[in-house]
Structure 1
Amino acid sequence: MKNLYNIKYTLSLALLFLTFSCNDVLVNEDPNGVAIDQLPPEVILPGAFTVPSETFMSSMNDLGNTMVATWSGNAQQVQAPYFVEFQYQLTTDFYDDIWDNLMARTGNLTQIITNDYDDNYDYFKGVSKIYRAFYFQYLVDLYGDIPFTDIHQRGDLLFPEYDDQIDVYVALINDINDAIAQIENTDTSTAVTMGSNDVIMGGNMNKWIKFGNTLKLRILLRMSDAVQANPDLQNIFNSEFASLNNAEFLGMGEDVTINPGYSDEVDRMNPFVETFGYAPGQFGNTANETFSNLRAGPTTYLVEFLNGTTNGVSDSRLQRLYTLRSGQSSIQGNTQGGGDQPSRIGPGLLSSPQQDGYIMTASESLFLQSEAVFKGLLSSGNAKGLFESAIESSFNRLGASPGTYLSSANNVSGIGWDGTADKLEAIITQKWIDLGGTNGIETWIEYTRTGYPSNMPLPDITNRPNRPIRLLYPTSEYTGNSANVSIYNQNVDTAFNSSLFWDVN
């Protein structure tokens, strides 16, 4: 029986009789415990939120930052961090945990969405639809056609068929619309409130609606270039943007974060910190570095972009994103595949083992709004103002002082609004700076969509003339769902020349 779709996450019987602690979601569930369909949403939700975020903050972030010129590492040292990534050795095993984990670990969300409960769990169901859509957009953006209609049916359907990627995008939009309507129109007198079971928003339903609207905005912008050749999709696109003109989005200070009770212990730390920072009990101890702390640092391209070498504008976010290693007098980069040791990840990304994890930042939302207004897709708002608010939000989140950055950068091509002929270039390039480290996978996908930032160098050690644009279906599909995946006839070149539907450029 295929583990990927035979999802029956379970929890110990003790959880039904003991006060639930958010820390419990950081511990592996008891396979001999109660089946998930016997548990109330209050027990399922914290884990359903937490487990997919681990992959998002670690593997997906790692992959994205190495596929664009954000992260480097000394690929020539003994442990050779990122050697495979920088050689572009894409196989069916390359970052296959992204597919395997997201497909499986969103199953609990589907359980909440589809299960019939005696009480009114509209809030739980609505937010589960929004949060599941967040991850399934990434599955489409990384793989193309995926199983969606048939997902998470456990033993009832072991070999799910693949849905067309456009159809999945439309289904995700519909799910978000349904979720927002469910939240807004429920009987508030009977609705079970989420409270502390919501380890993302703390039960703030208005913020969940803003997150849903912002996610829909991102989906629509991703497909914006593709709709012109598809009249039916164009009609959907126009209708959905019309509805967004009266919507609220995530604004300044409204980052979407998760914290189920991270602590300075094995398997309980913030996943980003545990993957790219320090071992438990060693936070900040540079004399006792782990391999994870040594692996990631900035590229030379990024350092020179931020220290003023490339464009004449010094960006103080550099000192928050990265910090010195022993013997360094300034932030140092390395080429992807080079033999130097770049500076380490800095305090703007690594603050403590208990730090919140980022799902979507306010700055990303503001960049999305700026793009939509600039393109005339949203009728309200000022594109330049939103763009500058996004940059300000980025500085604030990283703990950097913007100083005169906005005025200094304004007339500079590529990073400033007035100085950049194609405003989309300034938006995406600033998004690349902002999300590097926090959401690397988004920067790779946005580069594939737009080609910005321009002139990024390829790794020193690759023989490929261009970056990959997608991932290959994983080995688990070829062993467990071969009849449905084999029809795609993928090979290594597929990752470099088989575009996603929205990649029309």
Structure 2
Amino acid sequence: MKTTIIKSILLLLVMFTFSCEDVLVNEDPNGIVINDLPPEVIMPGAQTVPAATFISRMNGLGNLMTATWSGNAQQVQAPYFTEFQYQLTTDFYDDIWDNLMARTGNLTQIINNDNAGNYDYFKGASLILRAFYFQYLVDLYGDIPFTEIHQRGNNLFPSYDSQEMVYMNLITQINDAIDMISNTDANSAIDMGSNDVMMNGDMDKWIRFANTIKLRMIVRMYGYAQTNSEASTFVNAEIATLNQPGTAFITSGDDVIINPGYADTNNQMSPFPSTYGYAAGEFGNSGNVTFGNLATGPTIFLVELLDGTTTSVSDSRLNRLYALRGGQSSIQGNTQGGGGQPSRLGPGLLSSPLQDGYIMTASEALFLQSEAVFKGILNSGDAKGLFQEAISSSFARLGANIGNYLTESDNVDGIGWEGTADKLEAIITQKWIDLGGTNGIETWIEFTRTGYPSDMPLPDITNRPNRPIRLLYPTSEYAGNTANVSPFNQTVDTAFETSIFWDVD
């Protein structure tokens, strides 16, 4: 009965949240509802609402900004025309900023909670999850408001913090969260249990997730730290903590997922199938698909990499990521902006209207650890072993038969460890294959950081010589926080020319 009540409150909070359209960066649209509610009630919605943006909009954008997804031009007129022309404006995917900035206010509400009782587990988890989303805000926008966020009427016009300082503050807060969870009085601490729709109150897993986020941030900062003395001192100290005995990360069988009780009804489906799958009650019915399903398929570049055309190695993940459309006899791709009809999204991506949403997959975490060992950031572990474990985890998650793939691909340039001169190329290319459709925004950021996969084609219809490397501050900021955002003087070219601080290559 308690679980049913909590889920009912969650669904009400979610519906209320999405009814608020005009969002200032410092407004918490849930404030009237949650102001006096305890963390047990706030937490499910605080986790679920930003996750919907991450799983659907951010995932989709990243797949379109890299050569993962193309459009079905045979059934949809000019699919993804704005994306493939790189028409980046202050309105382009502005809901990413608006939703992450505002909706994480519920996490801040929990962090600042002063209800009676020991809520250290709730607060620690909220610090970790807020850091997860704010890292993406930095990685996509650069400088952002942070130290003055979520103060509502006390400060409607938050100033911007430098992206480097936000990164360091987030890592410090992750450390604080780990300490809070690890050192609280376990006898008095209120268990999150089913109020935690991500990890069901598994605080050891929250710590592993925290360490993995921290490692990702250190890996991204690592090159920048070689040129900045303050960052170098900070990064070196944090690397030492990551190498302490007993420090654990997300690993095989340890996907970080979310599922508050998704249902096969309108407005309650899992975010990915709701956007890229089927209408409620029609899962698997090819005649009642969403626009995202009808419009979306793989690129020729991806298909040829996986079907053996490029590498001479057949990758069975292809037939899990994508499925035949119409009268096709094999998986087909299209160029971005081309006139063809690509295959549709497959069962490895679309399994159920109730499917878990992925926040961080085990394979992503393992690829990250492989890179960290390869670069000497982590001083224990085997980089190749972690790399191949990540690939195995990818096949398992997608339901693909790995067969002899590890052996057959090992000596192949670009996708195999032994055959690739720059091991980073193999790591990032395999990560791109693995996360295509699952965490597209990560693949776009990683391409910006590393330049891999190499030789990735641009869309047919863009006039730009290179991919965008960031997003522009949204219209809502120029309307609601004008004095603080205007000095950046962004133009369309900013999205292609002004790097995020860690992009030093």
| TM-score (normalizing by structure 1) | 0.95
CA offsets, 1:282-319, max 9 Å, x none?
11001333322111110000000000000111000000
Aligned length: 491
For 2:324, the aligned partner's letter is: L
**Whole-angstrom CA distance in 2 between matches of 1:435 and 1:35:** 36
**Tell me, which stretches of 5 or more residues in structure 1 are unaligned?**
1-14
- In the other structure, the counterpart of 1:24 is 10
**SS of 2:359's equivalent?**
strand
**Whole-angstrom CA distance in 2 between matches of 1:33 and 1:388:** 46
Quick check: 1:65–1:440 contact (8 Å CA) kept in 2? yes
- In the other structure, the counterpart of 2:468 is 468
**Whole-angstrom CA distance in 2 between matches of 1:111 and 1:405:** 48
Matched, 1:104 2:102: yes
Quick check: 1:74–1:340 contact (8 Å CA) kept in 2? yes
**SS of 2:236's equivalent?**
helix
Q: Which range moves more in the overlay, 215-224 or 30-39? A: 30-39
Shift of 1:25: 3.1
Which of 214, 229, 232 is matched with 2:230 structurally? 232
Shift of 1:117: 2.1
Quick check: 2:469–2:499 contact (8 Å CA) kept in 1? yes
Aligned-CA RMSD value? 1.7
- In the other structure, the counterpart of 2:51 is 53
Alignment of 1:100-179 (within 5 A): 100-179=98-177
Quick check: 1:75–1:83 contact (8 Å CA) kept in 2? no
Pair 1:166–1:325, CA change in 2 (3 A): same
Aligned residues with identical type, % of pairs: 71
**Whole-angstrom CA distance in 1 between matches of 2:421 and 2:131:** 34
Shift of 1:74: 2.6
For 1:417, the aligned partner's letter is: W
Alignment of 1:184-333 (within 5 A): 184-246=182-244, 247-333=247-333
**SS of 2:78's equivalent?**
coil
For 2:400, the aligned partner's letter is: A
- In the other structure, the counterpart of 2:502 is 502
Shift of 1:76: 6.9
Quick check: 2:274–2:290 contact (8 Å CA) kept in 1? no
**Tell me, which stretches of 5 or more residues in structure 2 are unaligned?**
18-28
**SS of 2:6's equivalent?**
coil
| TM-score (normalizing by structure 2) | 0.95
Quick check: 1:86–1:336 contact (8 Å CA) kept in 2? yes
**Whole-angstrom CA distance in 1 between matches of 2:293 and 2:264:** 16
Shift of 1:115: 2.1
Alignment of 1:373-452 (within 5 A): 373-452=373-452
- In the other structure, the counterpart of 1:9 is none
For 2:16, the aligned partner's letter is: E
Quick check: 2:316–2:402 contact (8 Å CA) kept in 1? yes
Quick check: 2:119–2:189 contact (8 Å CA) kept in 1? yes
**Whole-angstrom CA distance in 2 between matches of 1:80 and 1:121:** 51
**SS of 2:233's equivalent?**
helix
- In the other structure, the counterpart of 2:67 is 69
**SS of 1:136's equivalent?**
helix
- In the other structure, the counterpart of 2:42 is 44
- In the other structure, the counterpart of 2:20 is none
Quick check: 2:425–2:452 contact (8 Å CA) kept in 1? yes
Q: Which range moves more in the overlay, 441-450 or 241-250? A: 241-250
